[in-house]
Amino acid sequence: MKHISTIRLSLAALGTAVALSASALPPKYIFLYIGDGMGMGPSMAAEMYNRQVLKNDTPITMMQFPVAGFCMTYSASSPVTDSAAAGTALATGTKTKNEMLGMNPDSIAVYSIASTLKAKGYGIGDITTVAPDDATPGAFYAHVPNRNMTYEIGVQAAESGFEFIGGGGWRTPAKEGKKSLFDVFEENNVKVVFGPDSAACIGNAERVVMVNHWGTDPSNMGYSIDSIPGTLTLPFLTNQCLDHLKRVSPDAFFMMVEGGNIDHALHSNDGGTAVKEILNFNNALDIAYQFYKEHPDETLIVVTADHDTGGMTIGNPTLSYNARLQFIDSQKISKLEFQNMLTRSAQKGEKCTWDEMKEILMEKFGFWRGVPVTEKQEEALKKEFNDMIAQRNLADQKTLYATFNGFVAKVFKVFNDAAGIGFVTSSHTGNPVPVFAVGVGADSFKNLNNNIEIPQKIMELVESK
């Protein structure tokens, strides 16, 4: 396997790594956790919810790690990166242009730490809560000029040699004139299993792809807040991947674990769902942390984000110097599922009056039952509702992954205002993101990092002896 030609440490980072390597062997077990879109705002909102609402005396797991720092995320083409360029940076140590995946700006393939570690004998796991052919997971095995080449990305997943790949599903399982993607997996001795009940079917397979049941949304495994029965979850997938790697590659392995739908929720400006997804991500991180405590001298865990999404804040113009994150527990449904619920109802020709909708808002969001709604806000909600019913509402909110009608957008604006949550955009920002680390060489990741330095430092630690 070709080595990562672009990995070059700064003298300061090199000095740190060399100093660490003098007292520790290279890490045998490496976990890279990536909270997609998980900037400082949503991270701190999850910790505030953990402390004030759940009444936990200890911070969420990543904030218990002894090393904390920041990371810059700009791409080769913009101060505001997309996920493809950011994923490529975190996977390969190379800056590239937005939309490009596993290639440098000149369209030359660059190779990830996962591929390099695979060549060194490490087992590889690559899992996410979104599609395995999405930007972040794809950056660890694929080389395409555009992230939307999902069929080609899927073929490269089959050819990667990775022992475990998991997520929502493959977005382009077939392409005219090409083999079925599942035939390509079979030709590469990859066992494809569907849903959590399929774990027992893995048997002695060396290579596994685990995705949700056929017919579900491949781009998102589903939000924790919606509690969709029969779907994979990130903690379940993490356990499955870790168990598999311990079986097929017990001496050394690398796992990339992505909380991909944190980003989806933040694109939707759905603060409550984003907080619950970060806590779900934290639950998956607990699994690696327990493993670390059993192998403290052999394990490295690094947690970061590919970029910040939404510019989420704790505090907004409505509440000024306050926030009421306890209202998050009044939210029983994600913004996406609420939109889908209304769409399904309209498709069935079901009629709904404003009084009936008020009951739904009370049930799903706690409006008028703990979550305050002013008369002015109620008038605005009723107007948007009537416009929606009349099918003449043009105030749609378009985001990267979904489009919400004006009524749904207004409902969540009212809810966020009441909770003290703010957003500056439905896209990415150039804000820095957090970095947390524990284990062998963790001190390498303190202070201010550039995203390309994360994989560079990991590889320097691996190659330190």
Instruction: Give the burial string for 52-78 (b: 16+ CB within 10 Å, else e).
Output: eeeeeeeebbbbebebebbbbbbbbbe
Name the region of 320 (left: φ>0; alpha: ψ -120 to 50; beta: rest): left
Residue tagged 């990830």 (tokens): 112
Question: pLDDT at position 396, please?
Answer: 66
Amino acid at 465: K
Q: What share of the chain in percent tops pLDDT 70?
A: 92
Average pLDDT across the chain, whole number: 92
Dihedral sign for Cα atoms in the order 319, 321, 322, 323: positive
Question: pLDDT at position 216, please?
Answer: 87
Q: Render pLDDT for 263-316 as a digit per residue (tens, 0 to 9).
A: 999 999 999 999 999 999 999 999 999 999 999 999 999 999 999 999 999 999
**Cβ pair 442, 66 in contact under 8 A:** yes
Quick check: 153 pLDDT over 50?
yes
Q: What is the pTM of this model?
A: 0.93
Largest CA distance in the chain: 71
Structure tokens at 31: 């976990």
Ranges assigned E (strand) in 25-151: 29-35, 67-72, 123-128
**Of residues 121 and 348, more confidently modeled:** 121
Question: pLDDT at position 394, please?
Answer: 46
Strand-strand pairing, 299-304 and 164-167? unpaired
Q: What share of the chain in percent tops pLDDT 90?
A: 85
Q: Render pLDDT for 437-454 as a digit per residue (tens, 0 to 9).
A: 999 999 999 999 999 999
Residue tagged 């940076």 (tokens): 89
Structure tokens at 331: 């939210």
Quick check: 23 pLDDT over 60?
no
Q: How far is the C-alpha of 292 from the C-alpha of 299, rounded, in Å? A: 6
Question: pLDDT at position 465, please?
Answer: 66
Amino acid at 281: F
Q: Return the minimum-mean-pLDDT range out of 4-18, 21-35, 258-272.
A: 4-18
DSSP assigned state of 81 = -
Quick check: 463 pLDDT over 70?
yes
For range 216-237, the mean pLDDT: 93
**Cβ pair 140, 93 in contact under 8 A:** no
Contacts of 328 (CB under 8 A, 6+ apart): 49, 53, 271, 272, 275, 276, 419
Question: pLDDT at position 403, please?
Answer: 83
Q: Return the minimum-mean-pLDDT range out of 152-166, 214-228, 284-298.
A: 214-228
Q: Residue 120: helix, strand or coil by DSSP?
A: coil
Q: Render pLDDT for 74-113 as a digit per residue (tens, 0 to 9).
A: 999 999 999 999 999 999 999 999 999 999 999 999 999 9
**Of residues 346 and 309, more confidently modeled:** 309
Amino acid at 77: S
Q: How far is the C-alpha of 12 from the C-alpha of 312, rounded, in Å? A: 33
For range 50-58, the mean pLDDT: 96
